[in-house]
Chain A
Amino acid sequence: DAKTTQPNSMESNEEEPVHLPCNHSTISGTDYIHWYRQLPSQGPEYVIHGLTSNVNNRMASLAIAEDRKSSTLILHRATLRDAAVYYCILRGSTNAGGTSYGKLTFGQGTILTVHP
């Protein structure tokens, strides 16, 4: 699986934008970039995903570099409820037998702290 690199931690103030970076220099042409977050004492939660173009949804925006070797998750106005561990994941879409499956390979993630 291609590897992602994220900062261990970041801090933000409430109501301010947050840019969470992710490097994935060994990404393959068919890898999708997925972001999940894990709030304290909960299971991970899907945030957003994309392939080449920037993506927006109700939770966040995903900006993908033109060479696809890095991406940035953007929270437009951080709230206290956004405090979580954010994981950047490249999807492994097939196993050795050629059957597609959706294994998620989580790294350490970025711990986001939001200050009131």
Chain B
Amino acid sequence: ETGVTQSPTHLIKTRGQQVTLRCSSQSGHNTVSWYQQALGQGPQFIFQYYREEENGRGNFPPRFSGLQFPNYSSELNVNALELDDSALYLCASSVTGGRNEQFFGPGTRLTVL
């Protein structure tokens, strides 16, 4: 069974640019959540997608958006990057809307200069 994978592993962008991060869910999982983890902090919930629709969102501005595809892979898009967006971005997949155990990927380290 393949676990959750994320790409790229590392990414460097400059302020004002846009970025797309990708996640492949674990086989059979229909729910994906995205988290932002600043250095030394716990992960913060960005949003969740269930059956290709956003069904929960944390305290993040609209420039953070996402997509979930029919094969349950997912994208996180961030527009107009700011320095504070530098963080580890984690995706987690699960079944049945996320009430159960969530399986996390290794994350994408984004640096905004």
- Which A residues are closer than 8 A to B by beta carbons? 41-46, 49, 85, 87, 91, 93, 95, 99-109
Contacts and interface: CB of A to CB of B under 8 A. Distances in A.
Contacts of B68: none
Interface string B52-71: 00011010000000000000
A105 B102 CA distance: 13
Which 10 A-B pairs give the minimum distances between C-beta atoms?
A: A102-B98, A43-B104, A106-B42, A101-B56, A46-B101, A103-B45, A106-B43, A44-B104, A95-B56, A101-B48
A99 B31 CA distance: 13
Nearest to B3: A43
A52 B100 CA distance: 16
B94 A102 contact: yes
Nearest to B106: A43
A95 B99 CA distance: 12
A100 B45 contact: no
Nearest to A91: B99
B42 A87 contact: yes
Please report whether the interface of chain A is mostly helix, strand, loop or mixed according to DSSP.
loop
Contacts of B58: 103
22 contacts: A41-B106, A42-B106, A42-B107, A43-B105, A46-B102, A49-B101, A87-B42, A91-B99, A95-B55, A99-B55, A99-B56, A101-B48, A102-B48, A102-B94, A103-B45, A103-B56, A103-B58, A103-B98, A104-B45, A104-B92, A104-B102, A109-B42
Contacts of A42: 106-107
Given A100-B99, A106-B35, 11 more contacts: A43-B4, A43-B90, A43-B105, A46-B103, A95-B56, A101-B48, A101-B50, A101-B99, A102-B33, A103-B45, A104-B45
B41 interface: yes
Nearest to B41: A108
B99 A102 contact: yes
B88 to A, nearest CB: 8
A107 B97 contact: no
B44 interface: yes
Given A87-B42, A103-B33, A103-B48, A45 B104 contact: yes
